[in-house]
């Protein structure tokens, strides 16, 4: 998949388009060709401190964890697909996974795309027989609408804290921890 690139280097440009320009959206597993579009989308929000930044190296190394929503522009003769949404499911242990890096292009928000992406990740948890999935978020109302409930982050196992210790927000985390019981007991 081609994405707009700056004339030198591999830095993706965040594409600007209106909702009316977007054709049908499909959700699938991420591919190597999606990485620069994913990075541009994620880092668009990271630049506003809404989520953590993800560079190409991280995304390539965790590519198998990601799904993407892609769309073609209606009046674009180039037939290019654009990454308009993405998220990752990071399996931490036999009983726990995390939703990471959920991002939806501003022109695709408020139409259920984010919820569809989260639903696919929850379904993936179920197929892997992972009973719980959690997230750290600043948009708790969105995740509550997907069935997640707030919970105390202190209940998470040490493996989560190993990853959290790499985060620049570690000492002053403003994110809300939420959990979804995938496999009801």
CATH of the domain at 51: 3.40.630.30
pLDDT band at residue 19 using 50, 70 and 90 as cut-offs: confident
* Tokens standing for residue 117: 């992406």
Contact 40, 3 (CB under 8 A): yes
* Domain hosting residue 53, numbered range: 19-131
φ, ψ (nearest 5 deg) of residue 49 = 65, 30
CA angle 140, 63, 16 (to 5 degrees): 65
120 falls within a domain = yes
Cβ neighbourhood burial of 125 (10 Å; 0-12, 13-18, 19+): buried
Contact 71, 24 (CB under 8 A): yes
Q: Could you give the CA distance from residue 146 to residue 116 in angstroms, rounded to a whole number?
A: 9
Question: For position 66, what pLDDT does the model report?
Answer: 98
72-129, pLDDT tens digit by residue? Answer: 888 877 778 899 999 999 999 999 999 999 999 999 999 999 999 999 999 999 999 9
Q: 149-150 and 22-29 as β-strands: parallel, antiparallel, unpaired?
A: unpaired
151 falls within a domain = no
152 falls within a domain = no
Q: Could you give the CA distance from residue 69 to residue 108 in angstroms, rounded to a whole number?
A: 10
105 falls within a domain = yes
72 falls within a domain = yes
* Tokens standing for residue 70: 């892609």
Neighbours of 29 (CB within 10 A): 13
5 falls within a domain = no
Question: For position 10, what pLDDT does the model report?
Answer: 52
Q: What's the structural domain count of the chain?
A: 1
* Tokens standing for residue 90: 């990071």
150 falls within a domain = no
30 falls within a domain = yes
52-61 average pLDDT score: 92
pLDDT band at residue 4 using 50, 70 and 90 as cut-offs: very low
φ, ψ (nearest 5 deg) of residue 104 = -130, 130
Question: For position 108, what pLDDT does the model report?
Answer: 93
């Amino acid at each position: 998949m081609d994405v707009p690139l700056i004339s030198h280097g591999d830095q993706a440009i965040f594409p600007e388009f209106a909702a009316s320009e977007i054709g049908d959206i499909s959700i699938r597993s991420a591919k190597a060709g999606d990485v620069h579009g994913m990075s541009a989308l994620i880092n668009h929000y990271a630049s506003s401190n809404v989520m953590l930044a993800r560079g190409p190296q991280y995304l390539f190394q965790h590519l198998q964890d990601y799904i993407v929503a892609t769309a073609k522009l209606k009046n674009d003769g180039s037939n290019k697909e654009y990454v308009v949404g993405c998220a990752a499911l990071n399996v931490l242990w036999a009983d726990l996974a995390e939703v990471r890096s959920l991002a939806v292009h501003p022109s695709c928000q408020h139409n259920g795309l984010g919820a569809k992406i989260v639903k696919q990740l929850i379904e993936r948890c179920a197929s892997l027989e992972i009973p719980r999935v959690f997230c750290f978020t600043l948009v708790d109302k969105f995740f509550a609408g997907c069935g997640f409930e707030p919970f105390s982050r202190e209940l998470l196992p040490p493996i989560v804290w190993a990853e959290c210790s790499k985060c620049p927000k570690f000492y002053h985390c403003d994110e809300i921890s939420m959990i979804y019981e995938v496999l009801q007991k």
